[in-house]
Amino acid sequence: MLVVMKKDATPRQIERVIAAIEGQGLTAHAIPGAQRTAIGITGNRGSLDRNLLETLEGVFEAIPVSKPYKQVSREWQPEDTLVDVKGVVFGGKSLVVIAGPCAVESYEQCRTVAQAVKDAGAHLLRGGAFKPRSSPYSFQGLGEPGLEILARVREEVGLPVVTEALDPEGVDLVEKYADMIQIGARNMQNFSLLKRAGRSSLPVLLKRGMSATIDELLLAAEYVVSEGNPNVVLCERGVRTFADHTRNTLDLSAIPAVERLSHLPIVADPSHGTGRRDKVVPMARAAVAAGADGLIIEVHHDPAAALSDGYQAVLPDMFRDLMAELGQLAPVVGRELRSGTAAAS
Amino acid sequence: MLVVMKKDATPRQIERVIAAIEGQGLTAHAIPGAQRTAIGITGNRGSLDRNLLETLEGVFEAIPVSKPYKQVSREWQPEDTLVDVKGVVFGGKSLVVIAGPCAVESYEQCRTVAQAVKDAGAHLLRGGAFKPRSSPYSFQGLGEPGLEILARVREEVGLPVVTEALDPEGVDLVEKYADMIQIGARNMQNFSLLKRAGRSSLPVLLKRGMSATIDELLLAAEYVVSEGNPNVVLCERGVRTFADHTRNTLDLSAIPAVERLSHLPIVADPSHGTGRRDKVVPMARAAVAAGADGLIIEVHHDPAAALSDGYQAVLPDMFRDLMAELGQLAPVVGRELRSGTAAAS
Amino acid sequence: MLVVMKKDATPRQIERVIAAIEGQGLTAHAIPGAQRTAIGITGNRGSLDRNLLETLEGVFEAIPVSKPYKQVSREWQPEDTLVDVKGVVFGGKSLVVIAGPCAVESYEQCRTVAQAVKDAGAHLLRGGAFKPRSSPYSFQGLGEPGLEILARVREEVGLPVVTEALDPEGVDLVEKYADMIQIGARNMQNFSLLKRAGRSSLPVLLKRGMSATIDELLLAAEYVVSEGNPNVVLCERGVRTFADHTRNTLDLSAIPAVERLSHLPIVADPSHGTGRRDKVVPMARAAVAAGADGLIIEVHHDPAAALSDGYQAVLPDMFRDLMAELGQLAPVVGRELRSGTAAAS
Amino acid sequence: MLVVMKKDATPRQIERVIAAIEGQGLTAHAIPGAQRTAIGITGNRGSLDRNLLETLEGVFEAIPVSKPYKQVSREWQPEDTLVDVKGVVFGGKSLVVIAGPCAVESYEQCRTVAQAVKDAGAHLLRGGAFKPRSSPYSFQGLGEPGLEILARVREEVGLPVVTEALDPEGVDLVEKYADMIQIGARNMQNFSLLKRAGRSSLPVLLKRGMSATIDELLLAAEYVVSEGNPNVVLCERGVRTFADHTRNTLDLSAIPAVERLSHLPIVADPSHGTGRRDKVVPMARAAVAAGADGLIIEVHHDPAAALSDGYQAVLPDMFRDLMAELGQLAPVVGRELRSGTAAAS
């Protein structure tokens, strides 16, 4: 923290600010300047509040310095974290592609889509049994029967499964049936859920909230990691802005930003990130070109009949073409795209 | 829903869109125009997806028409809902002022602030026992002992209590100790929590999410109401924008907007809405001038020692002055400000 | 500027940062901390770039300290600036109300509206002869004939006139016919226009850009003031956010923020700030309650026939009622609302 | 336009809305529904205002249907526009890379950077002689002497030049010395400048405003095209959002969005779009992967000494490596990257 005094601050005001800082067990370093004095603070334990200091007389502004997260930072651990989901590894050289329907609607639908994405080379199967929907009148997911379908399809098709939990009880169920817990954008700061996920043995796919900064995303991950679960994969899925040509604004610069600040892997979700089928493929390519460790993509064999978000699902054919493009693109950015079977072996 | 066809759409494409609409049990009305054809849809049951229609060939765009919420809309119920919290009524002629510390820190702190706000004329006591904090290393609240303090202070001081629940278990506890359940901005789309609050007998104070539209706020309220709890008070508490001179951008136009669309009361939170003590009082006045049914304000007798958000808490003296200003302001907007005691009698 | 070094920065890296700073003629102050070293910089002449420093090895981040504007700051001039427009004074105790049509459409329209707002107590007449419109096919204003109408109506009705200039040539014309130059939101960073306005003898009404921070607004004002024209009135007119219930999000907290940082007066434009007639009156009241020095309001006697923005114009009757409300509201916030005639005498 | 009536609208209110529409020479089509009536409008000439209709009694909302731009739309011209700048063609199969310093600082600096980017394969040279700067105290560019330097370097190095004009007079000068006129983000709605550029014989590089929607960007282009200049290249350069890890949020989805709606070429500016050197290269790759027709990149041989924006300039070595990566990436997206010399021959 750095405290900048007003130009006309009196020596007595400066002394009182120093006393306030030292009263908290911290060390104050006065830096007299041509126009004004600044006061550096060390020994910072995260307890000192910027705005608090600004209420003292003579203070112009207080500026935070240290980042508020610890264990997820690259300073804490320089080397990349590898997150292993039943042999599929996020954060290494191989791109990981998660694909499947937005929601599990039936065994037939889930099986059809799962087989299609497996054949196209996907590494993990996605599909929601619990759906967070803005309206109470929208389809809310099949619940536990949806998880049973996912577990059955997993065995038959041979893809590990990631699926969303909306609350701590949901985590209990996801642990029973699936291989990775997804925490959605609306729940990025549902701290009860984050803490429960932090006590799980399953890896976590944590999506960025619609108006979350990168610092807040990393702090949400810190909630999980600080409870004992180091296996967190972050996900950029679009933020909310004034722009109205897509459902959200996919902020791909989050990928190099996270890579610089944290050792955790990060994937992109161009399906929710754009909300429009015709933009999913270009933005999927762009995410990989920006350095993403993987993608999560909604695929549906009959989007017009989908019970949720059908307009953003790509068709199996489009997905297969995309995988072929990614196979060409990966080496350009020093990556590789192994087939789902190979990756899991 | 209105489907707008492309200028060069063929008659066959138009027929197929009509067939798709009617295949869902809805009625399609073709509107041939000079440049293009539009197709109106009636019998809408909320099931039809705009984006789905846009994937059909020849379609230029599909435009939703009906609002997605029902029971909370003014069309559903033209007269204002009155929400009664132990005799304090939101939505009527009297302004309701909720005040108290951000977090319950100790019996002494809570009692001191409660007595001060009661003496100044506040109607309800606020104070958090469970605090949603971005960082796992920040003070998270006292938990149930904090609720016990609130309940004791309520009896001693004589103000009904509103306090936040972070999860369904938290609602169980809040029901045991308090008079109104607060659902915070970060949890506005925590649907498990909304549903649980909808099954409570206590009224709910529902804060707008940091990037929630008014439609989404009303849909979140619809979750509570549709579960059987009609007693919801909405709260504008600032949204996240690029503007950096306040912690959030307090969107006071939400007040007349909600008043037009819904029968539910709405209050404003200038403390979180600005995040800066020196802006709380002007924005509190502004909220009342814009038509708010009340205010929720953080007060602390020793902000520099507060364990959370001390920089946005006003001092008891400032609060007393504000109440006096509000007393003068209320009649200008056709309201009245009764003393806490009178309001509760 | 404060430079924060990485935890593992080497002494040599620190030395090089210090050398880079001193190579620019500035003074570096090393502040060794428990975890890392910070380096304060004084003698700052605005030339040093934060991001530049961040490219040096071993640097974690660089944090700017001084505000970039000078003459418009309250530190430069503690007392409020009073801006006098033909005897109507912004920045003093009296609220100033500017009213009139969005665009000058005809002599009859302008005269009718001007007389109505004068009778209701407005102090200045607004009306655009040059209209910035998103589409080249929308009505662009009458041009110089519109200014002639404004000048004639000014004489007949007795209200000083403020009108917009879109380019330096427009300023020449506005100087010929009107009493105050408006610079619109889209032109807040049209620096050629700002410099030309800075060389005018007329006062300037400078609107905040749609995505401008308060610092940028004050810097735009600094362009005008640094060219020699101290008579600048700022105007909050709404910023662009994700919120879709109003055309813009009126950020009333800008009013106390500007008041703290600058000595320049600030008014609010609830017409553009909301874009909806039914929200103009509540937000006008709110702006005054927040401390605005005045308002600018669109009034039209026949909004359905207006050539631009008719939906946000209030009717003369609504305007008269609003003025009556403002008359009651003003004393609550330590202001007064004098009649237009009195204010100008 | 579609007008949606309230549920309880009376037949008389509906008639009056129809009369209002037909009074404007348009045709109204009533669509009675189960719950409410909607009214479609055809013969739309762009004159009808959504918000105007919403002020009529009984109207719930009015929804615009047609896009407001014409000549720049893909419906108007299905085939891609090719913009030829001295033999360098935007919009075809070849990617076009514009590179150079942010600002022209001296002949030596400009020549050095120009030669470096030419050698690395760039097709056009950028460099500002007139710089739009938030602060009046920042370096404003060399003015006409800067243009003279650019013209001299163009001859010596053999790259066509694009440079920014800030006002109509600036366009006169740019026409004299350069090959393409850049209109910056802050001037995207400087309509005097757009109209002047529309009367130029030089092609125009039009940057998206910081808070402009895609519709507004296309309307700004329509200003240029409707004045007679069809040669417009659009540029995505980042929008302003709450996100603080980059200077702006580069909205790459604008690229497929523009491609769908318009026949004009679009390039991306990852330098301003991120404002951080370490993010320029990943976002440049991402833009090409998303389908951009080209890139504009700031390069400086000595960024620490740059007079503006040095922190976002890449070094010549980084630029050369990027060009090599783009050469590999181009074929993956069906493009090619020809050397500057080849492209211009």
Series of mean pLDDT values for 10-residue runs along chain A (345 residues): 82 89 78 73 62 80 72 89 98 98 95 97 97 84 95 98 96 98 97 97 98 96 95 98 95 97 97 93 98 97 76 92 96 89 43
How many angstroms separate the CA atoms of C152 and C104, rounded? Answer: 12
Give the C-alpha separation, C134 to C142, whole Å.
17
DSSP A115-173: HHHHHHT-SEEE-BSS---SSTTS-----HHHHHHHHHHIIIII--EEEE-SSHHHHHH
- A228/A291 same-domain check: yes
Query: Which residues 6+ apart lie within 8 Å of D19 measured at CB?
Result: none
Count of domains observed in chain A: 2
User: How many CA atoms within 13 Å lie on the side-chain side of B24?
Assistant: 23
On whether residue A74 sits in a domain, the answer given is no
Instruction: Supply the pLDDT for residue B47.
Output: 56
Q: Which residues pair with D181 in a beta bridge?
A: D163, D204
Task: Compute the average pLDDT of residues D56-73.
Answer: 79
D74 φ, ψ (degrees, to nearest 5): -70, -25
Choose among C42, C240, C241: nearest Cβ to A34. C42
Q: Compute the radius of gyration of chain A from its Cα atoms.
A: 23
Q: Tell me if D83 sits within 8 A of D231, measured CB to CB.
A: yes
What is the amino acid identity at position C259?
E
Q: From CA A173, how far away is CA B51, in angstroms rounded?
A: 32
Structure letter (DSSP) for residue C299: B
Contact A332/D251, CB-based, under 8 Å?
no
Residues D167 and D187: their CA atoms lie apart, in Å, by 9
Query: For residue B7, what pLDDT is reported?
Result: 81
Work out the pLDDT band at D344, boundaries 50, 70, 90.
very low
Residue B186 is given by DSSP the state G
CATH of the domain at A185: 3.20.20.70
Quick one: D322 and D212 in the same domain? yes
Residues with Cβ within 8 Å of C302's Cβ and at least 6 positions away in sequence, in order, are: C109
CB A214 to CB D286 under 8 A? no
Give SS3 for D224: helix
Q: Are residues C107 and C237 in the same domain?
A: yes
Question: Cα–Cα distance between C61 and C42 in angstroms, integer?
Answer: 17
Structure tokens that stand for C141 in this block:
């204003």
Q: Are residues A209 and A317 in the same domain?
A: yes
Residues 6+ apart with CB under 8 A from A8: C75
- Whether D6 maps to a domain, the answer reads yes
What is the distance between the alpha carbons of residues C123 and C323, in angstroms, rounded to a whole number?
A: 11
Cα separation, C170 vs C164, whole angstroms? 8
In a domain, B77, yes or no: no
User: Do A8 and A92 fall into the same domain?
Assistant: no
Report, as an integer, the average pLDDT of C317-324: 96
Which residues, at least 6 apart from B342, have a Cβ–Cβ distance to it below 8 Å? none
Q: Please give the Cα distance from C123 to C205 (Å, whole number).
A: 15
Question: What pLDDT is recorded for position D93?
Answer: 97
Question: How far apart are the CA of D343 and the nearest CA of chain A, in angstroms?
Answer: 23
Under 8 Å CB-to-CB from C117, ≥6 apart: which residues? C99, C100, C125, C159, C299, C316, C319
Same domain assignment for residues B40 and B148: no
Distance, in Å, from the CA atom of C281 to the CA atom of C318, rounded to the nearest integer, reads 8
* pLDDT exceeds 80 at position D241: yes
Instruction: Give the up-direction half-sphere exposure of residue B159: CA atoms within 13 A in the CB hemisphere.
Output: 30
Pick from A19-28, D82-91, D211-220: least confident? A19-28
Where are any strands of DSSP class E within chain A? 2-5, 27-32, 37-42, 59-63, 83-85, 88-90, 96-100, 124-126, 161-164, 180-183, 204-207, 232-236, 266-268, 294-298
8 Å CB contact of B35 and D66 = yes
CA of D210: which chain C residue's CA is closest? C211
For C245, the closest of B243, B253, B282 (CB atoms) is B253
* pLDDT at residue B74, rounded to an integer: 87
Q: Is B69 inside any structural domain?
A: no
Mind listing the pLDDT tens digit for each residue in D298-332? 999 988 777 777 778 999 999 999 999 999 999 99
What's the rounded Cα separation, in Å, for the pair A84 and A63? 39
Are C270 and C179 members of one domain? yes
Q: Please name the residue of chain D whose CA is at the shortest distance from the CA of residue B249.
A: D242
Helix (H) or strand (E) holding A83: strand A83-85
Does pTM surpass 0.90?
no
Q: Are A80 and A321 in contact (CB under 8 A)?
A: no
Nearest to D332 among A242, A291, A329 (CB): A329
A56: left (phi over 0), alpha (psi -120 to 50) or beta: beta
CATH code, domain carrying B36: 3.30.70.1140
Same domain, C53 and C89: no
Across the interface, whether the CB atoms of D135 and C303 are under 8 A apart is answered: no
User: For residue D264, is pLDDT > 90?
Assistant: yes
Return all residues near B88 (Cβ < 8 A) that are at least 6 apart.
Answer: B96, B123, B124, B160, B343, B344
Residue C151: domain span: 83-344
pLDDT at D77 over 90: no
Strand-pairing partners, residue C105, are none
Q: How far is B212 from chain C, CA to nearest CA, in Å?
A: 8
pLDDT per position as a tens digit, D134-157: 888 778 889 999 999 999 999 999
Task: Report chain C's mean pLDDT, rounded to a whole number.
Answer: 90
Whether D73 is covered by a domain: the verdict is no
Q: Three-state SS for D33?
A: coil
Burial B13-35 (b: 16+ CB within 10 A, else e): bbebbbebbeebebebbbbebee
- CA–CA separation, A164 and A183 (whole Å): 6
Assess whether A257 and A335 both reside in one domain.
yes
- Order of strands, edge to edge, in the sheet holding C2-5? C27-32, C37-42, C2-5, C59-63
Chain A nearest-CA distance from B201, in A, is: 20
In a domain, residue C73? The reply is: no
Report the alpha-carbon distance of residue B189 to residue B212 in Å, rounded. 9
Q: Is residue A340 within 8 Å of residue A123, measured between CB atoms?
A: yes
Nearest to D34 among B38, B42, B65 (CB): B42
Query: Residues B247, B101: one domain?
Result: yes
Distances in Å between the Cα of B257 and the Cα atoms of B30, B186, B329, D142 are: 33, 22, 21, 50
| Dihedral angle of Cα A156, A159, A162, A168, to the nearest 10 degrees | 50
> Given an 8 Å threshold on Cβ–Cβ distance, is A289 in contact with D329?
yes
Q: Count Cβ atoms below 10 Å from residue C262 Cβ, excluding itself.
A: 27
> What average pLDDT is seen over chain D?
90
Residue partners of C158: CB distance under 8 A and separation at least 6: C118, C341, C344
Question: How far apart, in whole angstroms, are the C-alpha atoms of residue B249 and residue D170?
Answer: 38
CA trace torsion D279, D283, D284, D290 (10° rounding): 180
- Which of C29, C241, C248 is the best substitution to test chain A (most A C-beta atoms within 10 A)? C29
Taking the CA of residue D16 as centre, how many other CA atoms within 13 Å lie in the half-sphere pointing to its CB?
14
Q: How far is CA C197 from the centre of its chain?
A: 14
Tell whether D78 is covered by a domain: no
Q: Which amino acid is at D229?
A: N
Q: How far apart are CA A140 and CA B304, in angstroms?
A: 46
Between residues D244 and D43, the one the model is more confident about: D244
**One domain, residues A54 and A159:** no
Interface of D to A at Cβ within 8 Å reads: 211, 213-214, 239, 241-246, 249-257, 260, 273-274, 278-279, 282-283, 285-291, 325, 328-329, 331-333
Residues of C in contact with B247 (CB under 8 A): none
Contact across the interface for A213 and D245, Cβ inside 8 Å: yes
Write down which chains contact chain D via at least 3 CB pairs under 8 A: A, B, C
Residue C5 has pLDDT above 50, yes or no: yes
pLDDT of res. C48: 67
On whether residue C74 sits in a domain, the answer given is no
| Predicted local confidence at residue D65, as pLDDT | 57
Which amino acid type is present at position A120? A
Closest CA to C298 of C269, C261, C336, C341: C269
**pLDDT on residue C344:** 41
Contact C60, C5 (CB under 8 A): yes
Distance from C-alpha of B289 to C-alpha of B282, rounded to nearest angstrom? 11
**Partner residues linked to B294 by β-bridges:** B96, B267
Amino acid identity, residue C152? R
Band of residue D25 on the pLDDT scale cut at 50, 70, 90: confident
Q: Give B252's contacts in chain C (Cβ within 8 Å).
A: 250, 252, 283, 286
Q: Are residues A267 and A320 located together in one domain of the fold? A: yes
Cα–Cα dist B146/B133, whole Å: 16
> Which of B3, B24, B55, B302 should be substituted to probe chain A, the one whose Cβ sees the most A Cβ atoms within 10 Å?
B55
CA distance C310 to C300: 7
**Paired residues of C30 in beta bridges:** C39
Who among D2, D66, D75 is closest to B2 (CB)?
D2
Q: How far apart are CA D319 and CA D302, in angstroms?
A: 13
| Closest C-alpha to B119, from B146, B80, B88, B159 | B159
Please report residues of C whose CB lies closer than 8 A to that of A31.
Answer: 29, 31, 40, 42
With a cut of 0.95, is the ipTM above it? no
Segments of chain B scoring below 50 in pLDDT = 342-345
What letter represents residue C53's amino acid? Answer: L
